[in-house]
Amino acid sequence: MIIGIIGIGLIGSSLARAFRAHALADSILLYDTHAPHMAEAKALNLGTEYCATPEELARQSDIVFVCTPVATIAGVIRVVAPHLKPGSIITDVGSVKTSVIAEASDLIPSGVAFVPGHPVAGTEHSGPAAGKADLFAGRTYAIIDEATPHSAPALKIAALTEKLGAKPVFMTAAQHDAVLAFVSHLPHIAAFSAVNGERKLSGQLGRDAASLAGSSFRDMTRVAASNTVVWRDIFLNNAQPILAACRLFRDELDALIAAIERGDAAEITRRLEQARAAKQQQNESQRT
Amino acid sequence: MIIGIIGIGLIGSSLARAFRAHALADSILLYDTHAPHMAEAKALNLGTEYCATPEELARQSDIVFVCTPVATIAGVIRVVAPHLKPGSIITDVGSVKTSVIAEASDLIPSGVAFVPGHPVAGTEHSGPAAGKADLFAGRTYAIIDEATPHSAPALKIAALTEKLGAKPVFMTAAQHDAVLAFVSHLPHIAAFSAVNGERKLSGQLGRDAASLAGSSFRDMTRVAASNTVVWRDIFLNNAQPILAACRLFRDELDALIAAIERGDAAEITRRLEQARAAKQQQNESQRT
């Protein structure tokens, strides 16, 4: 099987490493529009072939993974679509699904399957050197199959991700985007905002507040070091679900703040115990 | 030197372990009002002596560490104050300083020094078994010395914490509470609220959103598993600084959300790049 990967950042380079580590491809073709990424990928020996154009990669691949920032995925598909092999599959790894599917679905030629996907895995690091072969181990891999539930190509992608150690989960694009808005996009918005707020406070006090931070602030803001282009695009392309997630979070935040303001010990306790029980259950289910 | 520790939870038991590991005390006296904690401390061999009452502990100790939840610190000091040795020091480890100092300062007998302190260290675990001898290594230890700047007792506590590997930092109670409200109390409020919001979303969707969470949600919500009594007390006893911190955070959050809502790519980029640069600088300074 010939696997082509377009975009050799954190996710693309991790896929390349993982396919090689698990010996899942006869060839791994790589392309990145950014020349230094291509040079770095070659130096790291991430692929078996480095294509001069995305069209060249598409013409040879049985499966094409589009691993570019969300805003560019449909554009990449538009370029490569006419060159995809009959019987091949094109899939993406974007953190937002509805907007990409709306733009890209009509571009796919007949005889080719589009299987939108999203490995729910990442770190705050970016670029070809940041990838890890085990990035997907134990992680959920969302596969959007609502157009043709459990189609053969969707099952093929699912089986492939399972071989990387991931847990494939089928869902609709709307479900995916609503959930990810809350459990991924919101934590990033909170992290960026907390760091910017801490800078303002430090300016007001004339003292470096962050130097007094313990692990709670460090963990909450870890992802503020993430790639800003990737996250700008995610925010712009999943705006409505993100706004809904932020409203939900803000409602909880406001209610707890209001309880603190009026000194309502019982209500604070109720909210904290509810959260603690849920969190402990989440910790348990991650262990198993 | 005889060190007494009242309250053998995460911090108290870590202090006991650390004093023993660094051979800093001739005796380590322990007291906890909660009998199972006392039994656990004995089973773990955390002290050299286990006192039947806090008064008994106070009568023998050169330094008394009060390591109980914030709301109970002044009450403990009220009980032990008349029994403290002349020339001894009493210190606490509460995460909130202004309210404790206001309640406790007048209770201290002459000839005894009160040095309010706060090791900025912790985990989401609680109880005598959760402590670690190296909990304070590399961490800031705030010492409030505004009543008598750089007094001999304050310098003595600072030197002691330095021997545990901590970095003592002198500051005013108001500065401490404003900074901690932002870099510690706010991350906990955000964590509890994010978990409660995620539970609501999961209910709405009929799908377990947390199972799709990556490391950003896990890290943001890690501390939602923390001791709820400890955190309720911190919230109630530092309400005004916390409300100010939450306003500052909410302003940043609202501005970023508004930029997402109106699709303002330039403003999103500006905010993300500012946060990323600050976070990278924080990561750098933690490494050095």
Residue B287: the pLDDT is: 67
Q: What's the mean pLDDT in A14-37?
A: 97
Interface of A with B in 15-74 (CB under 8 A): none
The CA distance from B90 to B103, in Å, is: 14
How far is B51 from chain A, CA to nearest CA, in Å? 31
Comparing A26 with A126, the larger pLDDT belongs to A26
B122:A275 CB<8 A: no
Say how far apart CA B178 and CA B187 lie, in whole Å.
14
**Interface touch B196/A280, C-beta < 8 Å:** no
Instruction: Judge whether residue B115 has pLDDT over 60.
Output: yes
Q: Which of B139, B179, B184, B208 would best serve as a mutation to test chain A binding (most A beta carbons within 10 A)?
A: B179
Write down the pLDDT at residue A160. Answer: 98
Please judge whether A191 and B216 are an interchain contact, meaning their C-beta atoms are less than 8 angstroms apart. yes
DSSP summary character for residue A132 = -
Check: complex ipTM more than 0.90 = no
Model confidence at B288: pLDDT above 60: no
Count of residues in chain A:
288
A186 reaches B (C-beta below 8 A) = yes
pLDDT digits (tens, 9 = 90+) for B135-155: 999 999 999 999 889 999 999
> B251 to chain A: which residues are within 8 Å by CB?
197
Cβ within 8 Å, pair B179-A209: yes
CB neighbours of A52 closer than 8 A, spacing ≥ 6? none
User: Tens of pLDDT along A195-232?
Assistant: 999 999 999 999 899 989 988 999 999 999 999 999 99
Residue B138 neighbours by CB under 8 Å, 6+ apart: B165, B166, B167
pLDDT band at A288 (very low <50, low <70, confident <90, very high): low
CB within 8 Å: A243 and B257: yes
Residue A101 to residue A74: CA distance in whole angstroms: 8
Q: Residue B70: phi, psi to the nearest 5?
A: -50, -45
- Asked if B257 has any chain A CB less than 8 Å from its own CB, the reply is yes
- Return the percentage of chain B with pLDDT > 90, whole number: 92
The tens digit of pLDDT for each residue in B196-248 reads 999 999 999 998 999 899 889 999 999 999 999 999 999 999 999 999 999 99
**Residues of A in Cβ contact (< 8 Å) with B118:** none
User: What span, in angstroms and rounded, lies between the C-alpha atoms of B64 and B165?
Assistant: 20
Entry pTM: 0.87
- Give the pLDDT score at A177: 97
Per-residue confidence (pLDDT) for residue A34, from 0 to 100:
96
If residue B250 lies in a helix (H) or strand (E), which one and from where to where?
helix B239-261
For A234-280, write each residue's pLDDT tens digit: 999 999 999 999 999 999 999 999 999 999 999 999 999 999 999 99
Q: What is the 3-state secondary structure (H, E, C) of A169-225?
A: EEECHHHHHHHHHHHHHHHHHHHHHHHHHHHHHHHHHCCCHHHHCCHHHHHHHHHHH
Chain A, window 140-169: residues with a beta carbon less than 8 angstroms from a chain B beta carbon: 140, 142, 169
**Burial readout B246-264 (b: 16 or more C-beta within 10 A, e: otherwise):** bebbbebbeebbebbeeee
